[in-house]
Structure 1
Amino acid sequence: MDNLSAQEHTCKSCGNTFVGLYCNLCGEKIIEPQERQIKSVMGHLLVASTIVDNKFLKSLWYTVAKPGLLSREYVDGRRVMYMRPLQMFFILNLIYFLFPVLQMFNSSLYTQLHVLPHSKLAQKVVAGILKKDGMTMQGFELMYNDKTTSLAKLLVVVFVVLASLPLSLIFRKKNRYFTDHVAFSVELTSFNLAINAIALSLLFALINAIFRFSHSSSYGIYLNDLTLTIIFVSTNLYYIFYAARTFYSQRGKRLILKAFAGILGLFVALEVYRFFLFFITIWTM
């Protein structure tokens, strides 16, 4: 078979004549025979989905093992070797949206009415709706929970922006723009989607299968708001502590204080996000 890279070609996109596999004007590639084979086509499909793409796996690994590295490399202009933080976020959010995972960024009607700081306001709003429409609480709750589950997965990007606000105040630095803090927040949210939503769901599914196989009581008795809060605080404290060293070059005793302040800031951002989620859910029902 002739070597296509040594032949002269006419670009099918721009009409330019060139030698090699890539057009020197528009970058169009000559399709080689082996690229039409089933094996090659399937490989391109897998790469296009990015689930087995080397950049995705590499970037995800760095997000978990070396917090803050991906966002630091991105804002410093070293972007070729990694997947962009926002691109990875959308892929993880797509997985979070399509599959039944823990609703980390969701809040049931019960939580909205009885647990959160704005619960009294939420109770008044719901009471007014029930009175106006003549609905029962049980029926309204079913409708609300179904609607808010879908909306929560779509509105995670709102949490990204909200989380960047306290982080930009806690880690003030002259050489960091607000967009840099947003990039850091994107990586932080990707970490939470990967670990506290997707991976944790898989772990709980495995544990549940073990409980069922051993005919023991369900693990659900151990899975409550307290358990999830402990997991959220622990994992995010780990992330912020190490990411602050990498992304913000924070050192010394202030690092510990700012890491805990970062956790508090995330809780505030999460509560504000849930506040918006409640009213957006009510508005769209």
Structure 2
Amino acid sequence: MEEAKNCINCNEPLIGKFCYNCGEKVVEKSDFSIKTILQQFVDGFTNFDSKFIKSFWFLLFKPGQLTENYVNGVRKPFMKPFQLFIVVNVLFFFILSGADIFRIPSGYFFSIESNLKALEAIANTKQESVEFLKQIYDSESLTNSKLYIFILIPFLSFIIWLVNFKKKLQFGIHAIFAIHYLSFFMLFCVTLVILPREWFSPRVTQLTIFSFNFLYLTFALKRFYNDNWKITLLKTFTIVIVFFALIFLYREQISQFTLYLMHK
């Protein structure tokens, strides 16, 4: 194989085995040996596993440090923010497949007269039973709540940016913080599954989620934005209240959107 003098990717002159401009590796005969291919296969699993465990550990037990590391350029040992968010999202909806955190179950949604009347109208049009359509609603609302969960990120980012406006940081930095916080919120909900179910009534579950998120966000804000405790607590209270309001709004909109699609 003829040795390239310029990078095949960006056409910059090559110095050594890697392009200084784009990082592309020079192709060598050894790249196609069985030993190299097998090594890449093993590295792919072990590297992902290492990043996966380390990212989850920092996300759960070191509030704010994952964001701090990413912003400061310590990125290689950890999963990228959106990559982490997607993995947590999959875990959340796989393990908590019946959870109503991001959607309103049919039993509650159709207890509202206007929603029930809308469903009955659909049942008459499609010649289906109301009970059957409720099952369809539960399935589709769950799917929609998974598909559109990323919509919460820009709104949460905006709130975090707003309360930290005087920091003069780029909006994208606040977005990274928001992604990590939302990922923690979902991962914490997943961890509750390992605890005995009899410990948690719906009210106790809500209080536990709110309390732990308040504590976590307090330490995350303190570490990353480095305000005094009084300002940090005020910011935490504002963000948590608005965040939970966003979740309730998201649940309502996902449910209404699902009902709207059922008209089609």
Do the two structures share a fold, i.e. TM-score over 0.5? Answer: yes
Q: CA deviation at 1:134?
A: 5.2
Q: CA deviation at 1:151?
A: 1.6
Match of 1:58?
Answer: 54
State the 4+ residue runs in structure 1 displaced beyond 6 angstroms: none
Q: Return closer, same or farther for 1:273/1:77 CA change in 2, 3 Å cut-off.
A: same
Match of 1:211?
Answer: none
Whichever residue aligns with residue 143 of structure 1, its letter is I
Match of 1:213?
Answer: none
Whichever residue aligns with residue 87 of structure 1, its letter is Q
Q: Classify the secondary structure of the residue corresponding to 1:96.
A: helix
Q: Return closer, same or farther for 1:137/1:56 CA change in 2, 3 Å cut-off.
A: same
Residue 88 of structure 2 corresponds to residue 95 of structure 1: no
Q: Classify the secondary structure of the residue corresponding to 1:173.
A: helix
Match of 1:172?
Answer: 165
Whichever residue aligns with residue 106 of structure 1, its letter is R
| TM-score normalised by L of structure 2 | 0.78
Match of 1:245?
Answer: 222
Q: Deviations over 1:125-157 (max 9, x none)?
A: 445434544544322211111111122122211
Match of 2:145?
Answer: 152
Q: CA deviation at 1:277?
A: 0.8
1:138 alignment partner, one of 115, 131, 135: 131
1:188 alignment partner, one of 178, 181, 189: 181
Residues paired across the two proteins, number: 252
Match of 1:107?
Answer: 104
Which sections of structure 1, spanning at least 5 residues, go unmatched?
Answer: 1-7, 208-218
Whichever residue aligns with residue 271 of structure 1, its letter is F
Q: Return closer, same or farther for 1:24/1:159 CA change in 2, 3 Å cut-off.
A: closer
- Partners of 1:112 and 1:122 within 8 A in 2: yes
Residue 205 of structure 2 corresponds to residue 228 of structure 1: yes
Taking the aligned partners of 2:35 and 2:67, their CA distance within structure 1 comes to 37
Taking the aligned partners of 1:120 and 1:253, their CA distance within structure 2 comes to 45
Which sections of structure 2, spanning at least 5 residues, go unmatched?
Answer: none
Residue 228 of structure 2 corresponds to residue 276 of structure 1: no
Q: CA deviation at 1:28?
A: 3.8
| TM-score normalised by L of structure 1 | 0.73
1:70 alignment partner, one of 59, 66, 69: 66
Q: CA deviation at 1:269?
A: 0.9
- Partners of 1:9 and 1:19 within 8 A in 2: no
Bigger CA drift: 69-78 or 154-163? 69-78
Match of 1:27?
Answer: 25
- Partners of 1:68 and 1:247 within 8 A in 2: yes
- Partners of 1:148 and 1:281 within 8 A in 2: yes
Q: CA deviation at 1:45?
A: 4.5
Structural RMSD (CA): 3.4
Q: Return closer, same or farther for 1:194/1:128 CA change in 2, 3 Å cut-off.
A: same
